A = this chain, B = another copy of it.
Amino acid sequence: MKAKKEIKTEKVSKQKELGLTADKDDFTEWFTQLMIKADLADYTDVSGCIIFKPSSYAMWEKIKSETDKRFKKLGVKNCSFPMLIPEKYLTKEKEHVKGFAPQVAWVTEAGESKLSERLAIRPTSETIMYPSYSKWIRSWRDLPLKLNQWNSVIRWEFAHPVPFFRTREFLWNELHTVLATEKDALQEGEDILEAYDDVGTNEMALYGLVGKKTEKEKFAGAISSTKIHYILPNGRIIEGPCFHYDGQNFSKAYDIKFLNENGKEQYGFQCTYAITTRMLGTMFAMHSDEKGLIIPPKMAPNKIVIIPILFDDSKEKVLKKAGEIAKDLEKFDAFVDSRENYKPGFKFNEWELKGIPLRIEIGPRDLDKGIVVIARRDTSEKKEVKIKDINKFVEKALEEMQNSLLEKSKKLFKSKIEKTSSFDELKKLIENKKVGIVPMCKNVECEDKLKAETKGAKAVFISEDKIKNEKCIICKKKAEYFVYCGKVY
C-alpha cells in the first residue's frame, strides 16, 4: 500500500513467535500459549502457583469491584482475618477437616524455632472466622452477620495444575454469613447467587446455569452446595461461583448461638459463598480465538488502541490527531501506540493478541478525508467512520460486542448439552466434547461407576427438570433426578 516513505523500523521478525501457533481445538496448548503470549500470567518455580500479570489482575480487580458493589446492597461487609489457622481450630468440624486436610500447607517453623503447634495456611477461612463469630454473636440483634474477605488461599492439590483453572494458590472472595432462620439463609443464597450471576452474565459475558451438587460433590461440611456452571468450547464444565448452605453444622461445631426474639438460645444458620480467579480463565477460554485474547469490553482495562500510520512527511499531523482522538475517548481508556520501531501490521497483531476490543487506524489519507478505520476484535469487521462520529460509533460498537459475546456464549452452552437415557450415548457425547443430561439415582456408587467408565466425567450438577418414570442410567433402578454429566476443570 502507501508504504513508500514509511519510517524505517528496526528489523522485527518476531511476528510468528509473538502470535499463537496452536488451534483452539488443541485446547491445553492453545490456552497455555494464550496465557503467556497475551501477557496474562506467568509460571514461577513455586509449583502450581502463577503470577497474575497486570492485565489479568486488572480484570480481577474489576470482578472484585463489581461484586463488591452488589454485595454492599445486600449488607455484606469486607474485613480481614489472619491467614494462619491453628491446627486445633481446623479440626473442629469433622467433615470439613476430612475434605481439606489432604491439601493443607503447614507452617511448622518460624525463624530458628520449631512451633509448638502446626499452623495451616488457610485453604478457606471458616475455621478461623467462626471462633470469633461465636464470641461476637449474642442476640438476634447481631444477625445477620455477613463478613467477606478478598484474599488468596492455598490448596496443595496434587492433580495437574492448569493456570487460572486449577492452581495451588488462587485469589477469591469468601463470604461467611450467619442468619437467624433457615428461610433467611436460603433467601440470602438466592440473592448472592443472583449477584454473582449478574457479574458473570452482564460484565464477563458468560452464560451460566445455576445447579445444585449431588451428595458426592458437595462441599466438605455443607448440607448442600449450589454453583453456577459454564461450558467451555472444549466441552469442559467449569464450576463457577458457589453457595454452600451449612445449616447448623458449623454453628454447632463452633458454638455460634444467639438469643432469639423469644429469649431462647438457638444455633445460627450459616452460608458460605465464593468467586475465584478461575472466572478469569473461563472468560479467556470462552471468548478468545486463534489470534489471541478476546474479552468483553466491560472487562477490558483499555477498550481502544489507536494506531497512527506514520510517514515522514505527515507524521506530526497524524500523531497530533491520534492524540486528540485518544483524549476524546478518555473514558474508554484509549491510548495511542506511537512506537516508531514497529510497523502498523505488527501492532495490529500485538493488540489483537492482547485483546483490545477496538482498534482505530488513522493515516494521512484518512485524515484528508476526515475519517478513521475502526476494527472490532471479535468479528474482525472494519468500518470507515467520520472523525466527528467516532465517540458515538465506539460506544455502540462496544455495546454490540459485549452483547454479541454473551449471545455466543449462550449459544455454545445450548449446543453442548443433550439429553439421553443411554449410558453408551452419554459416553459418545463426552467423547465428542459435549455434556449429557441423564437420569440418575442418588447412589454414590453409581456416580463412582460413571466416573470410572467415562475416563473422568462426572455428575456435575442436578437439573431442575422434573423427573417421572426414568431409570438411573447406571443401575437401572428408579432415577431421582436428571444430572448434567461431563468433564470438569
Q: Which one of A48-56, A201-209, A211-219, A238-246 is at the B interface?
A: A48-56
Contact B52 A128 (CB under 8 A): no
By beta carbon, the residue of chain B nearest A109 is B106
Contact B52 A80 (CB under 8 A): yes
Mask, A110-147, CB within 8 Å of B = 1, is 11100000110100000010011001100000000001
Minimum C-beta distance from A356 to chain B (A): 16
Contact B82 A54 (CB under 8 A): no
Minimum C-beta distance from A171 to chain B (A): 6
Is A44 an interface residue, CB under 8 A from the partner? Answer: yes
By beta carbon, the residue of chain B nearest A135 is B42
- A284-324 contacts to B (CB < 8 Å): none
Contact B171 A86 (CB under 8 A): no
Contact B54 A78 (CB under 8 A): yes
Contacts of A53 in B (CB 8 A): 79
Q: Which one of A97-105, A427-435, A463-471 is at the B interface?
A: A97-105
Q: Evaluate whether A119 and B46 lie within 8 angstroms (CB atoms) in the complex, with A54-B79, A77-B54 already known.
A: yes
Contacts of A106 in B (CB 8 A): 107-110
Of B49, B57, B84, B156, which contacts A46 at CB under 8 A?
Answer: B84
Is A27 an interface residue, CB under 8 A from the partner? Answer: no
Minimum C-beta distance from A385 to chain B (A): 29
Minimum C-beta distance from A259 to chain B (A): 12
Contact A86 B46 (CB under 8 A): yes
Interface size class of A (residues with CB under 8 A): 35 or more
Mask, A65-103, CB within 8 Å of B = 1, is 000000000000111111111100100000000000111
Contact A80 B128 (CB under 8 A): no
A119 to B108, CA, bound (A): 11
A74 to B70, CA, bound (A): 30
Contact B104 A79 (CB under 8 A): no
Contact B89 A61 (CB under 8 A): no
Contact A132 B171 (CB under 8 A): no
Of B57, B79, B108, which contacts A57 at CB under 8 A?
Answer: B79
Contact B46 A85 (CB under 8 A): yes
Contact B51 A84 (CB under 8 A): no
Of B45, B57, B81, B152, which contacts A51 at CB under 8 A?
Answer: B81
Minimum C-beta distance from A50 to chain B (A): 8
A50 to B81, CA, bound (A): 7
Is A58 an interface residue, CB under 8 A from the partner? Answer: yes
Contacts of A45 in B (CB 8 A): 86, 89, 131
Contacts of A152 in B (CB 8 A): 80, 83, 151
By beta carbon, the residue of chain B nearest A61 is B78
Is A169 an interface residue, CB under 8 A from the partner? Answer: yes
Is A154 an interface residue, CB under 8 A from the partner? Answer: yes
Of B52, B86, B108, which contacts A109 at CB under 8 A?
Answer: B108
Minimum C-beta distance from A237 to chain B (A): 26
A53 to B108, CA, bound (A): 28
Contact B107 A49 (CB under 8 A): no
A151 to B85, CA, bound (A): 18
The residue among A77, A111, A135 with the most chain B CB atoms within 10 A of its own CB is: A111
Minimum C-beta distance from A85 to chain B (A): 7
Contacts of A58 in B (CB 8 A): 77-78
Contacts of A158 in B (CB 8 A): 111
By beta carbon, the residue of chain B nearest A115 is B105
Contact B112 A102 (CB under 8 A): yes
Contacts A44-B128, A106-B108, A107-B107 aside, 4 further interface pairs with beta carbons under 8 A come to: A57-B80, A101-B111, A102-B112, A105-B107
Between A and B, 5 residue pairs with Cβ closer than 8 Å are: A51-B80, A52-B80, A106-B108, A107-B121, A151-B152
**Which 9 A-B pairs give the minimum distances between C-beta atoms?**
A49-B82, A54-B77, A110-B156, A52-B80, A106-B109, A102-B111, A46-B82, A57-B79, A108-B108
